Chain A
Amino acid sequence: MLLAGGQGSRLGVLTSDVAKPAVSFGGKYRIIDFPLSNCINSGIDTVGVLTQYQPLVLNSHIGIGIPWDLDRNSGGVTILPPYERSDNSEWYTGTANAIYQNLKYMESYEPDYVLILSGDHIYKMDYEAMLDFHKLNGADVTIAAIPVPMEEASRFGIVVTDDKRRITEFEEKPAKPSSNLASMGIYIFSWEVLKDALIALKNQSNCDFGKHIIPYCFDKKKNLYAYEFNDYWKDVGTLGSYWEANMELIDLIPEFNLYEEFWKIYTKQATIEPQYISGSAYVEKAIISAGAEIYGTVKNCVIGAGVVIGEGTEVHDSIIMAGTKIGEHCYIEKAIIAEDCVLGDNITMGAGEEAPSELNESVYSFGLVTVGAKSVIPSGVTIGKNTAIKGETSEDEYPDGKLPAGGFIVKGGDEK
């Protein structure tokens, strides 16, 4: 059961039209490709994807699951949105509440075990090895956990185990953590235990795995084990960590390697044609996806499919997502530009000093320029750091042709 309904509000304008799991990553992928590919690579061929926030892109991306070989005669991928019932219709109010509302879906497959995943992380993991661990220990619940630096441990749900990895304590975001093993939000439940807990807590408001289900199982003296995972696992919850995780892919030998034959990551690929690097282009330290046409200079960038970068334009340390067209003689530094944007000519982006964001200081920092999907930016404007742009903007919205550092132009509504 893959939880994919979250907004991921700390990604700012990147998630104004799409759920966080549908945000592009690494040029050609979307975040949800990682858990979905992990599923099929681990031999899990029945996957329910729970959607709620802005599901359009997610739905069309997943379709009937062809890219992940999840188009099956039995099982396969099923999209599970909230639905109306004769009594008490409600949205998914929490992670466990969402799973509870789909008890019938799970029951129809008569499972022995249920794996709960979230669509928020970049990692490669063999869930089958985790299940073997679960069976070997005769566990009721197994929680995947990763060691984190002690000083960050208070941001996570922390598990404390004995030497056999049996969980002896569970602390949700503790002020003084007693271990550094953080829950990754990946759980394996033996079916009867999960069903019992979900039904027992069905009236719990905002019922959540970390806050309610796990403590409930713990109190009922169930066998809880921690499965330690010691590989690459990246939360891309903030613009800063999202930008960093993308930039790590262009290292000479990236820590997270997409070029291995083993454990491939699958995605829906609409663009298959080659990329063209013109005679006037210069590309160094970058990954570039299919169908891109580069006429300018690209350094330290992640470039999505079908992107066009005009002649004389320089792009540094940026993420440009699929379908975006950038005009000529622009200078772009440390920007995240989402899908299908159109940028004019002679635009300067990410120049000058930093200033705190006037829109939301905790979201738009890290010195980044963030541009939402399908935005239009007119020629000749200068855009400072920690800025946000979303929607079709025109010259008169940039006084003196400028959007100063920390500024924003975010257009909402259904029209644009």
Chain B
Amino acid sequence: MKAIGIVLAGGDSKRMQNLSDKRAVSAMEISCSYRAIDFVLSNMTNSGIQTVAVLSQFNARSLNAHLNSSKWWNFGRKQGGLFLFTPTITPDNSWWYRGTADAMWQNINFLKERHEPYVIIASGDCVYKLDYNDMLDYHIAKQADVTIACAKLPEWEDGKRYGVVQLDDKGEVISFEEKPLAPKSDIVSAGIYIIRRRTLIELLEQCNEEGRYNFVTDVFMRMTGSKKIAGYKIPGYWSNIASVEGYYRTNMDFLKKDVRDFFFHEDPPIYSKSYDLPPAKYNNGANVKNSLVASGCIINGTIENSVVFKKVFIGTNSVIKNSLVLNGAYIGDDVYLENCIVESNETILNGSRYVGEEGNIKIVAEKRNRYDLMSEDKGSGEE
């Protein structure tokens, strides 16, 4: 593969509400076994990209913990590797990343020291499977200066939080609007770009001199009209998780057989860090219907149309419906949850009830300290 990868693992997103309090969006858990960034990293390694830089500055602890070894994505190699670049203070620079372009500019030596002719820039918060070789072939065949991957939005969503793209019949981008109030099409940027490495270096240096810091608005959009921009349509499933609704629906999509088959059973696979959890355990009283369950769970209650992530405990007579229960949550006995997202490692007390609505999912984040609760229980002699 003649390209290196850059993953923009950004940030905060107001649309994630308090889900991004704990972690960067690209470290969000997806479909029980994965984190969002696994999809882009697996796509890169499966496309034969050997060198990948992940740029992040917001709440990177969780992301950093996930990327603490590069071996899960086969990046632990003499040639290439996986690099996590967070801002550092140098004699010339003491800024945080002021934007995506600035993040790349602050790491421009990484770009300069490589020999591969192309760079693939991708965001870390999308769920998809793509062979970047196909996109690069398209880029070369189109003789484009930059190629942007596009995807069709699902019906429930409009383009207000996306870059909206209009393509002509030759597949060239004729207009690009960032987060428009009135989107002109349902084709949006998938946040994936292919560009020549030397061109990118020039553009970033120029951009920095002018005091501009954002890749989409200050680099990419200013190329429209003067440069040839090709739009490459992603053939399969694509979804962005950077809103509560998007995150919830993306996870729920995995209850559909075609989505599971596409990600789980068709080659190439999506990789993630291995946690060596035991098989999920279903005790007497478990009643699970149309749900995904991760390893390490212990289930004593009812689960319907839900996604239950790793190491979750579900107590007796509890009912979980249309919900996501994130890693390590402990759901006590006689709990009722509907249309909820339960934050990771939450402790839900016996007999609690949380009900959200379709289209207005309730995020359950009580931040109780489980071990304090256990000692309190002992004190009062309650169950």
Q: Which residues of B250-296 are within 8 A (CB) of A?
A: 254-255, 260, 263-264, 271-272, 274, 276, 278-296
Instruction: Tell me whether A287 and B282 are in contact in the complex, defined as CB-CB below 8 angstroms, given that A273-B263, A274-B32 are known contacts.
Output: yes
Instruction: Tell me whether A272 and B279 are in contact in the complex, defined as CB-CB below 8 angstroms, given that A252-B284, A279-B290, A291-B264 are known contacts.
Output: no
Complex: A250 Cα to B283 Cα, angstroms: 8
B263 surroundings in chain A (CB, below 8 A): 273
Could you give, for residues 58-71 of chain A, a 1 whenever the CB lies within 8 Å of some chain B CB and a 0 otherwise? 00000000110000
Instruction: Tell me whether A284 and B286 are in contact in the complex, defined as CB-CB below 8 angstroms, given that A267-B276, A273-B263, A274-B33 are known contacts.
Output: yes
A262 at the B interface (CB under 8 A):
no
Complex: A185 Cα to B246 Cα, angstroms: 56
A286 surroundings in chain B (CB, below 8 A): 281-282
Residue of B nearest to A254 (CB): B281
A303 surroundings in chain B (CB, below 8 A): 279
- A272:B33 contact, CB within 8 angstroms: yes
Partner of A259, one of B281, B282, B284, B294: B281
B286 surroundings in chain A (CB, below 8 A): 283-285
A265, A273, A285: residue with the most chain B Cβ atoms closer than 10 Å: A273
A266 surroundings in chain B (CB, below 8 A): 276
B71 at the A interface (CB under 8 A):
yes
B56 at the A interface (CB under 8 A):
no
Partner of B280, one of A269, A272, A275, A282: A275
B260 surroundings in chain A (CB, below 8 A): 273, 276
Instruction: Tell me whether A259 and B278 are in contact in the complex, defined as CB-CB below 8 angstroms, given that A279-B290, A290-B33 are known contacts.
Output: yes
B36 at the A interface (CB under 8 A):
no
A265 surroundings in chain B (CB, below 8 A): 276, 278
B33 surroundings in chain A (CB, below 8 A): 272-274, 290
Instruction: Tell me whether A274 and B290 are in contact in the complex, defined as CB-CB below 8 angstroms, given that A66-B71, A289-B279 are known contacts.
Output: no
Could you give, for residues 1-44 of chain B, a 1 whenever the CB lies within 8 Å of some chain A CB and a 0 otherwise? 00000000000000000000000000000011110000000000
B298 at the A interface (CB under 8 A):
yes
State the interface size on chain A (CB cutoff 8 A).
35
- B274:A67 contact, CB within 8 angstroms: yes
B278 surroundings in chain A (CB, below 8 A): 26-28, 258-259, 265, 287
Instruction: Tell me whether A277 and B290 are in contact in the complex, defined as CB-CB below 8 angstroms, given that A66-B71, A259-B281 are known contacts.
Output: yes
A264 at the B interface (CB under 8 A):
yes
- A285:B283 contact, CB within 8 angstroms: yes
Chain B's nearest CB lies how many Å from the CB of A30?
A: 13
Complex: A284 Cα to B282 Cα, angstroms: 6
Complex: A33 Cα to B330 Cα, angstroms: 29
A281 at the B interface (CB under 8 A):
yes
A288 at the B interface (CB under 8 A):
yes
A362 at the B interface (CB under 8 A):
no
Residue of A nearest to B274 (CB): A269
A272 surroundings in chain B (CB, below 8 A): 33-34, 271-272, 274
Residue of A nearest to B280 (CB): A288
- B31:A287 contact, CB within 8 angstroms: no
- A275:B282 contact, CB within 8 angstroms: no
Complex: A275 Cα to B308 Cα, angstroms: 10
State the interface size on chain B (CB cutoff 8 A).
36
Chain A's nearest CB lies how many Å from the CB of B274?
A: 5
Partner of B290, one of A264, A278, A285: A278
Residue of B nearest to A291 (CB): B264
- B281:A250 contact, CB within 8 angstroms: yes
A250 surroundings in chain B (CB, below 8 A): 281
Instruction: Tell me whether A275 and B276 are in contact in the complex, defined as CB-CB below 8 angstroms, given that A284-B286, A288-B282 are known contacts.
Output: no
- B292:A275 contact, CB within 8 angstroms: yes
B31 surroundings in chain A (CB, below 8 A): 273-274
B271 surroundings in chain A (CB, below 8 A): 272
Chain A's nearest CB lies how many Å from the CB of B383?
A: 17
Partner of B287, one of A282, A288, A302: A282
Instruction: Tell me whether A277 and B293 are in contact in the complex, defined as CB-CB below 8 angstroms, given that A67-B274, A269-B274, A291-B264 are known contacts.
Output: yes
- B264:A275 contact, CB within 8 angstroms: no
- B279:A27 contact, CB within 8 angstroms: yes
Chain B's nearest CB lies how many Å from the CB of A254?
A: 9
Instruction: Tell me whether A285 and B291 are in contact in the complex, defined as CB-CB below 8 angstroms, given that A67-B274, A269-B276, A291-B264 are known contacts.
Output: no
Complex: A250 Cα to B289 Cα, angstroms: 20
Residue of A nearest to B311 (CB): A259
Chain A's nearest CB lies how many Å from the CB of B222?
A: 42
Partner of B279, one of A28, A67, A252, A277: A28
Complex: A147 Cα to B255 Cα, angstroms: 50
Complex: A272 Cα to B278 Cα, angstroms: 12
Complex: A286 Cα to B263 Cα, angstroms: 26
Partner of B289, one of A67, A252, A275, A279: A279
A259 surroundings in chain B (CB, below 8 A): 278, 281, 296, 298
Complex: A289 Cα to B282 Cα, angstroms: 11
Residue of B nearest to A28 (CB): B279
Chain A's nearest CB lies how many Å from the CB of B37?
A: 15
Instruction: Tell me whether A285 and B282 are in contact in the complex, defined as CB-CB below 8 angstroms, given that A67-B274, A272-B272, A272-B274 are known contacts.
Output: yes
Complex: A277 Cα to B307 Cα, angstroms: 10
A275 surroundings in chain B (CB, below 8 A): 280, 292-294
Complex: A267 Cα to B277 Cα, angstroms: 10
Partner of B288, one of A252, A269, A277, A290: A277
Complex: A274 Cα to B307 Cα, angstroms: 9
Instruction: Tell me whether A252 and B283 are in contact in the complex, defined as CB-CB below 8 angstroms, given that A275-B293, A276-B292, A278-B289 are known contacts.
Output: yes
Chain B's nearest CB lies how many Å from the CB of A412?
A: 32
- B284:A26 contact, CB within 8 angstroms: no
Instruction: Tell me whether A284 and B284 are in contact in the complex, defined as CB-CB below 8 angstroms, given that A273-B32, A275-B292 are known contacts.
Output: yes
Complex: A274 Cα to B326 Cα, angstroms: 13
B287 surroundings in chain A (CB, below 8 A): 282, 284
Could you give, for residues 288-301 of chain A, a 1 whenever the CB lies within 8 Å of some chain B CB and a 0 otherwise? 11110000000000
- A289:B284 contact, CB within 8 angstroms: no
Partner of B291, one of A277, A284, A302: A277
A264 surroundings in chain B (CB, below 8 A): 276
A267 surroundings in chain B (CB, below 8 A): 276
Complex: A26 Cα to B276 Cα, angstroms: 13
Residue of B nearest to A280 (CB): B289
Complex: A281 Cα to B292 Cα, angstroms: 12
B285 surroundings in chain A (CB, below 8 A): 284
B254, B283, B294: residue with the most chain A Cβ atoms closer than 10 Å: B283
Residue of B nearest to A276 (CB): B292
Chain A's nearest CB lies how many Å from the CB of B66?
A: 14
Q: List 18 A-B contacts (CB under 8 A).
A: A26-B278, A67-B274, A67-B276, A250-B281, A259-B281, A272-B271, A274-B33, A274-B292, A275-B292, A276-B260, A277-B288, A277-B293, A278-B290, A279-B289, A279-B290, A284-B286, A286-B282, A290-B294
Q: Can you name 12 extra interface pairs (CB under 8 A) apart from A277-B293, A284-B283? A: A26-B278, A27-B278, A66-B71, A67-B276, A258-B279, A273-B33, A274-B31, A274-B294, A283-B282, A284-B287, A285-B284, A302-B279
- Which residues of B come within 8 Å of A, CB atoms? 31-34, 71, 254-255, 260, 263-264, 271-272, 274, 276, 278-296, 298, 303, 307
| 9 tightest A-B CB contacts, nearest first | A274-B32, A258-B278, A27-B279, A279-B290, A287-B279, A289-B279, A273-B264, A274-B292, A277-B288
